[in-house]
Chains A and B, each alone.
Chain A
Amino acid sequence: MKILVVDDSKLARLTLIKTLKEHEPSADIIEAENGDIAVELYKAKSPCVVFLDLTMPVMDGYEALKLIMEINPRAQVVVVSADIQMQAQALVLALGAKLMVPKPINSDKMLAVLQQLVF
């Protein structure tokens, strides 16, 4: 199962991958450090899930989400963000994200996310 993890912070990617591996040890993980790279990797590798940060340089998560949803309207994108405002959540859900989870991610949050995804 291919999973794309997008965050400009190495710490955030490590934390996410660690919790992900606890539940899905065999996951095949691809990493990107900004939205631009994420969109390219999405096109090239067609991962079944994308974990996407919002505040990133070069291309932010909102823009990347739009482009990924254009490439595949059924893409499963989980936004993982420090922005916990209701409006941010409403916006990413309107753009097609499947879920939004507040940072920092932990094992329980990851389990709840994985249970709502289709593999």
Chain B
Amino acid sequence: MQNNEFSSDHLDVLKELMNIAMGNATANIADLLQAFGTMHIPHLQISDVDGLKNYIKMTISSEDEYYVTKQLFGGKIGGEFIFLVNKESAINLGNYLYDTVKVSDADIMDAVIELTNILSSTTIGRLTDELNTKVQFFAPYTEVVSGDPLISEEETLNYHKIIIISTVLEFQKHKISGQIFILSRDEMIISLRELIDQKLEELYS
């Protein structure tokens, strides 16, 4: 394994920057939902495709149905932002945002995309700000999946070494919780490491 090119210090920096980014995202969503969000410690690991599959299996239930929204971003660093909510949370979100108890599937989908957009832009935006870089976002798309086929077989062909950043978004008042995954792969790991090295240099100077 070439994991040693991304040291525990690099992981620590990324984890803390993700923590700060999630603080911003949670505050934005808290405004939208008029509720308090519980913050969780982000999880970070460098893994191969099998490791990613195992991690997903461990984190999400294979019995639930999920709304999965994926959004690609690119620039000096790039990757994929994935937001996953189970059906119950998605319905609660739709009910709250549309202020009704009977939301249509299209409305739920719309609410999930809206939430993901806020989440991805604030999280990735803050993360890249802290790393003194910028990224571009591509249009998100949502699909309903059951079980763990979060990453399709054809998608995994593109992944060899992956940085997994994941955390939980939780608003107990509305019974809404979701899982965020940020995946960055292969060549991106090198540029990400360079940005983190610059950050560390500033700090030690």
Interface residues of A (CB under 8 A from B): 8-12, 14-15, 18, 54-57, 81-85, 87-88, 102-104
Contacts and interface: CB of A to CB of B under 8 A. Distances in A.
A55 B26 contact: no
17 contacts: A9-B16, A10-B12, A11-B200, A14-B203, A15-B203, A18-B203, A55-B41, A82-B19, A82-B20, A82-B24, A82-B39, A83-B26, A84-B27, A85-B36, A102-B23, A103-B23, A104-B20
Given A54-B39, A82-B22, 19 more contacts: A8-B41, A9-B19, A10-B9, A11-B9, A11-B12, A11-B13, A11-B200, A11-B203, A12-B16, A15-B203, A18-B203, A57-B41, A82-B19, A82-B20, A83-B39, A84-B23, A85-B30, A85-B36, A104-B20
Contacts of A83: 23, 26-27, 39
B20 to A, nearest CB: 4
A85 B24 CA distance: 9
Interface residues of B, number: 23
Interface in B1-53: 9, 12-13, 15-17, 19-24, 26-27, 30, 36-37, 39-41
Contacts of B23: 81-84, 102-103
B13 A85 contact: no
Contacts of A104: 20, 130
Given A15-B203, A103-B23, A104-B20, A9 B39 contact: no
A88 B13 CA distance: 24
Interface of B: 9, 12-13, 15-17, 19-24, 26-27, 30, 36-37, 39-41, 130, 200, 203
B183 to A, nearest CB: 22
Contacts of A55: 19, 39-41
Given A14-B203, A54-B39, A55-B40, A84 B13 contact: no
B39 to A, nearest CB: 5
Contacts of B17: 11
A15 B12 CA distance: 13
Contacts of B16: 9, 11-12
A10 B24 CA distance: 21
A9 B36 contact: no
Contact of B36 (A56, A87, A103): A87
A15 B21 CA distance: 17
Contacts of A57: 41
Nearest to B35: A87
A83 B28 CA distance: 11
A87 B130 CA distance: 25
A36 B128 CA distance: 32
A102 B130 CA distance: 14
Contacts of B40: 55
Task: Give me the 8 closest cross-chain CB pairs, A-B, nearest first.
Answer: A82-B23, A9-B16, A87-B36, A82-B20, A11-B16, A82-B19, A84-B27, A11-B13
A104 B15 CA distance: 13
